[in-house]
Chain A
Amino acid sequence: MTQDTPAGHPSPASWAAVAVAWVLVGVPLLWGIVITFRKAALLFTLPGT
């Protein structure tokens, strides 16, 4: 089944659901990355770097 008809295209409302889903997984991941960078920031304050 090739969904190349307009009916096969995602509805505009579905993009809101996509945004919510990505925020739900993205926020914790971003939190983890920020904390990791805070820890790693020490490396960039080394003498001579």
Chain B
Amino acid sequence: MAGLLDRERIIAPPGYNRWLVPPAALAIHLCIGMAYGFSVFWLPLSRAIGITAPQACPADAGFFQQLVTVTCDWKISMLSIMYSLFFFFLGSSAAVFGGWLERVGPRRAGVAAAFCWGGGFFLSALGIRTHQLWLMWLGSGVIGGCGLGLGYISPVSTLIKWFPDRRGMATGMAIMGFGGGALIGSPLADLLMRRFATATSVGVFETFLTMGAIYFVAMLCGAFGYRVPPADWKPAGWTPTVTRRAMVTQGHVHVHTAWRTPQFWMLWGVLCLNVSAGIGVIGMASPMIQEVFGGRLIGVPGTLADLTDAQKAQVATIGAAFAALLSFFNIMGRFLWASASDFIGRQRTYAVFFLLGILLYASAPSAGRSGSVALFAGTLCVILTMYGGGFATIPAYLADLFGTQFVGAIHGRLLTAWSTAGILGPVLVTRIREYQLDRGMPAAQVYNTTMYILAGFLGLGLLCNLAVGPVAERYFMAESELLALRGGK
């Protein structure tokens, strides 16, 4: 079994078709991308005991009591801590195991990711069955979170080596899958929960078991589909540009050296600020469109507060539809922007994200005031393409600056920026909102200041991006070092 997973076993033979690798990567990313869709479980789980309505815990029930209680239902706020666990363990595991991945190859990492993500679902199912929230957090949040990190970075280095001529497009295809996972997983979970629900169960336990099995098998198929190219392989008929562009190196920086360069930290800032701003918008999008347009969304005059409960429900449905539309643009941005970066360059692509982003974030409040839902929705859709594009373009940016030898491991370390943004971004946006509401600002106007602050984030991101220059020669590995490393594999 061990031999099957070894890097040496998956070196592609001559004539291997490199277009087989992106679907393998997509298979893994489409599975782990369900992390974005976990909110589909919150409502059913919040009435896992009460079945028809939540069975509230006593007011004096403490944090630890809520983790082990079997007599009252979990609060949605407790369940949604899962997202913080996802982000934290995704970034941490990618940073810690990135070097290991480069040594052992993508197949072993993909198999480990399948065990963590699929196994996490099974452990969570046990937690749901026994109504132990801590077990669910441990299963999907901690172990599953490690599977997220491993699965996310597993194909990056391999794809970049297979597509030296189209680095952005190749990683864009895989990372598009991470955005698309929830598009498949959420409706599938919804179907399964309805299928398994009975008078005594909300059907989430069986849904977790089923989805865990599906994801485990699909991820194993993806992992066994990975092939690595022989060292220094190049596509037939392709030669690297003779006139070397300053921002695209032919050398390689070791992962242990990369984080000592200013370029690494500038890119860390670029990713963290782009993601923080994007997460801010994702979190606000649905309530924002409802509160900014209120009754106009259903052809009724008045603000959201003036509507009846039935009308509010109609408006909430439109808010959910808007969130769905944004997720589509998030996915498309991953592929399109990353592919575009192959032609216009990574630094210019991020400059577009930040400059156009500042313009759009700052004009979103005016678009809302104009009363045009189409203009407002269009503005946010373009913003979301750039949020997704930021994730998908960063691996190619790293490969350009630091070379391809350790790009997977370096990418893993850079993903701590995502963890940071995933935890700090929503907290910051919530605090800004609460601060303004406490000062008596109308709900519909609260978003304006937040959007201006997020535009400020992008301004900082632009400065970080502008500060990125070619990596100094002293950081690159010597030819002998590289040969020893490759010979040792």
Contacts and interface: CB of A to CB of B under 8 A. Distances in A.
Interface of A: 1-5, 7-11, 14-15, 17-18, 21-22, 24-25, 28-29, 31-33, 35-37, 39-43, 46-49
A5 to B, nearest CB: 8
Nearest to B180: A29
A32 B187 contact: yes
B237 A22 contact: no
Interface of B: 14-20, 23-24, 26-27, 30, 177, 180, 183-184, 187, 225, 230-237, 296-299, 317-318, 320-322, 324-325, 327-328, 373-374, 377
B14 A7 contact: yes
Given A17-B20, A24-B23, A49-B373, A8 B15 contact: yes
B318 A43 contact: yes
A49 to B, nearest CB: 5
Contact of B14 (A3, A31, A36, A43): A3
B321 A1 contact: no
A17 B23 CA distance: 11
Contacts of B14: 3, 7-8
A31 B183 CA distance: 8
B336 to A, nearest CB: 15
A1 B237 contact: no
Given A4-B234, A9-B15, A43-B325, 13 more contacts: A4-B236, A15-B19, A18-B20, A21-B24, A24-B23, A29-B177, A40-B324, A41-B321, A46-B297, A47-B296, A47-B298, A48-B299, A49-B374
B185 to A, nearest CB: 8
Contact of B373 (A1, A5, A31, A46): A46
Contacts, number: 112
Contacts of B298: 46-47
A41 to B, nearest CB: 7
A39 B324 contact: yes
Contacts of B180: 29, 32-33
Contacts of A28: 30, 184
Nearest to B25: A25
B17 A33 contact: no
Contact of A33 (B16, B183, B322, B377): B183
A41 B325 CA distance: 9
A38 to B, nearest CB: 9
B321 A21 contact: no
5 contacts: A3-B236, A9-B236, A15-B19, A32-B184, A40-B322
B325 A40 contact: yes
Contacts of B235: 3
A36 B231 CA distance: 42
Contacts of B237: 4
A48 B296 CA distance: 9
B183 A25 contact: no
Contacts of A1: 230-233
Contacts of A3: 14-15, 233-236
A18 B235 CA distance: 17
A36 to B, nearest CB: 5
Contact of B184 (A8, A10, A29, A49): A29
A22 B176 CA distance: 14
A16 to B, nearest CB: 10
Nearest to B19: A18
Enumerate the 10 nearest inter-chain pairs by beta-carbon distance, A residue then B residue, closest first: A32-B183, A47-B299, A10-B17, A14-B17, A32-B184, A21-B23, A40-B325, A42-B321, A39-B324, A25-B26
Contacts of B17: 10-11, 14-15, 17-18
A49 B187 CA distance: 27
Contact of B23 (A22, A40, A42): A22
Nearest to B317: A42
Given A8-B14, A35-B187, A25 B177 contact: yes
A21 B20 contact: yes
Contacts of B225: 21
A24 B19 CA distance: 14
Nearest to B371: A48
Contacts of A2: 232-234
B233 A31 contact: no
B140 to A, nearest CB: 20
**Which of A1, A18, A25, A31 has the most chain B CB within a 10 Å cutoff?**
A25
A31 to B, nearest CB: 7
A10 to B, nearest CB: 4
